[in-house]
Chain A
Amino acid sequence: MSHTDPEFLALKALGEQAGTAQDAAHLAQCADCRLELERLTRVVELARRDGPTPLEEPPASVWERIAATVGSEGAGVARALVPSDSARGAANGSGRRGPLAPPGRDVPARRPTGVRVGNSPGRGGWRRRRLRLVAAGLAAGLIIGAGGTVAVTQLTRPPASQVLAEIELRPLAQFPQYQSAAGTAALRKTQAALQLAVSVSAPPRPGFYEVWLLGANGTSMISLGDLNAEHAGTFTLPTGVDLRFYSRVDVSLQPFNGSTQHSSTSVVRGSLPATAAGAAEPS
């Protein structure tokens, strides 16, 4: 059986309505295509998560320190790492970055940017109202951009889901065998539901990892589901769950013994901040 068009999967991963009924039917019964879609979707989620992520250039002094440290260890290397301004100018003669010039802030954009992805959105910068742009307006923006940069941040939208909290999950002192384990949990609010995306880095062990919400009384708990082979999973929280009470995220290692109870072996755990519980409540 031939698989679906890879472009269909790519568009679908972006959240577009794409493909024919046949594509959908194939997807429904083809595990390979579904896995591929899942992987692409994860890439999209990652890219969209907080909006465009700008890379930051280190200050020029960092290269100078590296050059100095390494240069003191071997003359051959040191010659190739001449960091001074005069040497830089002399080396390439034009002020453009030449073979001897260190990169740094004084050098014009090292990546020619037709699109400036998120100049400085900062932490709150992404909370932007959804802009409904007509194609004409956008085209105008792009024409301006042809000569320089387009501030795509202005064209961008908040992600389909809003991240209410992102916490680290840490090992517990009482389980020394999992001290190297770590994880993250992101609480997201979509239009329809609250979701918890959990990812854990933990040693492969017999059994499987299961995610729980623990109640403040220390005994109540809600099972959210199991992590996949890559120790990740996204779970829809029960509608109406009180996250002020069920505020702790716990990942257990469960043996394959058929029990639905928590195994009492917690690999990592973390607490959702109270502010997230507030934000999670229906407005």
Chain B
Amino acid sequence: MPVEVPSDEDVSAAFGKGDPDALRLLYVRFGALVYSLARRSLGGQADAEDVTQQVFVSAWRGRDTFDPERGSLAGWLVTITRNRISDMLRSRQRDDRVLLHMAANVTTEDPAVPSDQVVNRVVVADELARLPEAQRLVMTLAFYSDLTHEQIAEVLQMPLGTVKSHIRRGLQRLRSRLEADRVAY
């Protein structure tokens, strides 16, 4: 029985070998990442679906160009996604120059290029979701509650040292992920 969500290493290895199941694994692992990036950059669901489809199809067709020595699979996919989003935005601009004009006064839920901020937020969310449960709970409370690490330890009935180490390793992991994906953050 295969694991529900494959590890990045498994996906990367399968993909590198051109394993017939690699595309499915890639999609299981990164479908939500790619789709969320597209949704947030493009707004519309239909366009986001189109971009997601294009990204995985191009990733499959271009699988020979993925070089694990040069960066992570996630980073490679994020790059493809950004390019497809840009293509989509450019074609929209051609379609409707009025929008571009209006965009000057709009706060950027609908940016003209996929913004680094959007990419970073989605990458962070993806990595948080990948943390082991206890650590994810600690990180979520550390980020989004008013609790100090001592309070988190008390509430979760975890040793203080464990909470501190979860926090340290969690932050490091998020940071490495942002760097591995070669996202400017």
Contact = CB atoms under 8 A, between A and B. Distances in A.
A217 B13 CA distance: 59
Interface stretch (A95-103, A205-213, A235-243, A259-267): A95-103
A248 to B, nearest CB: 10
Contacts of B60: 70, 77
B107 A167 contact: yes
B137 interface: yes
Contacts of A138: 145, 147, 155
Interface stretch (A23-31, A36-44, A218-226): A36-44
Interface string A117-150: 1000001000000111101001100100000001
A77 B63 CA distance: 13
B60 to A, nearest CB: 5
B128 A117 contact: yes
A201 B184 contact: yes
A238 to B, nearest CB: 23
Contacts of A59: 49
Nearest to B2: A99
B144 A51 contact: yes
B27 A102 contact: yes
A52 B140 contact: yes
B144 A48 contact: yes
B107 A76 contact: no
A80 B20 contact: yes
A80 B60 CA distance: 14
Interface in B130-185: 130, 133, 136-137, 140-149, 151, 154-156, 164-165, 167-168, 171-172, 174-175, 178, 184-185
A163 B141 CA distance: 21
A72 to B, nearest CB: 11
A47 B178 CA distance: 12
Nearest to A132: B146
Contacts of A18: 149
A111 interface: yes
B120 interface: yes
Is the interface on chain B under 10, 10 to 19, 20 to 34, or 35 or more residues?
A: 35 or more
Chief secondary structure at chain A's binding surface? mixed
Given A65-B53, A117-B128, A81 B24 contact: yes
B52 interface: yes
A244 to B, nearest CB: 14
A277 interface: no
A57 B31 contact: yes
Interface string B43-59: 00000110011001100
A79 interface: yes
B11 to A, nearest CB: 13
Interface of A: 6-7, 9-11, 13-14, 16, 18, 39-40, 42-44, 46-59, 61-63, 65-66, 69-70, 73, 76-77, 79-81, 97-100, 102-103, 110-115, 117, 123, 130-133, 135, 138-139, 142, 150, 152-153, 155-157, 165-168, 170, 182, 184, 186, 199, 201, 230-232, 270-271, 273, 276
Given A77-B20, A110-B4, 13 more contacts: A7-B164, A46-B121, A53-B124, A55-B122, A57-B35, A58-B49, A61-B49, A114-B136, A117-B140, A131-B146, A155-B145, A156-B144, A157-B146
5 contacts: A66-B27, A69-B57, A81-B24, A156-B144, A273-B106
Enumerate the 6 nearest inter-chain pairs by beta-carbon distance, A residue then B residue, closest first.
A156-B144, A58-B35, A53-B125, A10-B168, A80-B20, A55-B32
